[in-house]
Amino acid sequence: MSSYSGLPKPFFVLAPMDDVTDTVFRQIILSTAPPNLFFTEFVNVDGLMSPGRPKLLKKLRFVPDETSLVAQLWGLRPENFRAIAEQIADGSLARELGLPDGCNFVGVDLNMGCPAKSEVQNGTCSALIKPENRDLAADIIAATRAGLSGRLPLSVKTRLGFSQIDMSWFEFLLAQNLDMLTVHARTRKEMSKVPAHWDELRIVREIRDRLAPATLLVGNGDVESRQQGEELAREYGLDGIMIGRGVFHDPYVFATTSLWHEVSPKERLSLYRRHVEMFAATWQEGERPIPTLNKFCKIYVNGFDDAKELRERLMAAESTTELLSLIDNASQ
């Protein structure tokens, strides 16, 4: 199927977060309260087409249970976008990752929003928003589309502008015949320092309605609950809502009614235990260092007496074995 037409309205998406939304964390969210779509972390197509490929494949790893996963790509060279899109669409990349026949990504997304200095200096990600880079953005979209050749949907995730809000960017993007467009409602310059400008999404929606009524529009920025997302989707006429950092406060953020605040310390620790066990089983070659787990610790070890002290002990662990035994001692 080459579109996302089967999704409910509004649909919910777990935001791509580098070094956070790997297959392990996505499987945790799949088991708590899953959204309708997941994204991989962003992965560089130029790196994937270089000798550095084996190291980057960890960012695309997934398991057969992950049946609604969109691969997010970034990079500079259109021919590399085309080649990787081809490998995703024909399933060969999924086979390389060890997935059985029939298991594949459900779409490809292009990152045109990451504000990091190194990416911007290279002219990639949010630098593509700049008017002078629009030809390159068009070439990247066209090359990816050629690689997919109608086999999987194509989408873009971006921001409201580079230094300032720039609706010409949306006039451009919405003339590209995308299946989906996700807008993080801040400019690149704003990084994450100001509240998201949801009001601007009304204008983007009007451009979408005029130029590309078939392109699904997804809003993103500061959403902390499913209910809040539903209200924003209704207010601004959006098809979907993407939530990122909201999962740090509530792993059940996509639930109709989240009862996370009622989950006992023991159950919280047991969810962290599952995360650590899965991490150890998945990244057996040390592909991800142990400190990667520290950013998750606060999700689970939070909201009860002595949680801070326990976190400090857990975050000093040097191996997953040590971490698991600390969790077991704390759970007794």
Which residues are part of the catalytic machinery? 114
**Does 20 help bind ligand FMN (rule: CB under 6 A)?**
yes
x-marked contacts with ligand FMN along 95-114 as a string, rule CB under 6 A: ----------------x-xx
Residue with nearest beta carbon to ligand FMN: 244
Tokens of residue 5, six digits: 């037409």
**Does 215 help bind ligand FMN (rule: CB under 6 A)?**
no
Among 18, 79, 166, 322, binds ligand FMN (CB under 6 A): 18
Minimum distance from CB of 329 to ligand FMN (Å)? 30
Cβ-contact 86, 73 below 8 angstroms: no
Minimum distance from CB of 130 to ligand FMN (Å)? 17
H-type alpha helices, 130-259: 134-148, 167-173, 199-211, 226-236, 246-249
Tokens of residue 247, six digits: 């999962």
**Collapsing DSSP states into helix, strand and coil, what is residue 293?**
helix
| Beta pairing partners, 11 | 240
Q: Give the integer Cα–Cα distance in Å for 137 and 150.
A: 19
DSSP 165: B
Q: Give the integer Cα–Cα distance in Å for 328 and 324.
A: 6
**Does 56 help bind ligand FMN (rule: CB under 6 A)?**
no
Minimum distance from CB of 243 to ligand FMN (Å)? 5
**Does 188 help bind ligand FMN (rule: CB under 6 A)?**
no
Q: Which distant-in-sequence residues (6+ apart) come within 8 Å of 237 by Cβ?
A: 202, 205
Minimum distance from CB of 15 to ligand FMN (Å)? 3
Tokens of residue 150, six digits: 């109608």
Among 30, 127, 243, 297, binds ligand FMN (CB under 6 A): 243
Q: List contacts with ligand FMN (CB under 6 A).
A: 15-18, 20, 41-42, 72, 111, 113-114, 157, 184, 220-223, 243-246
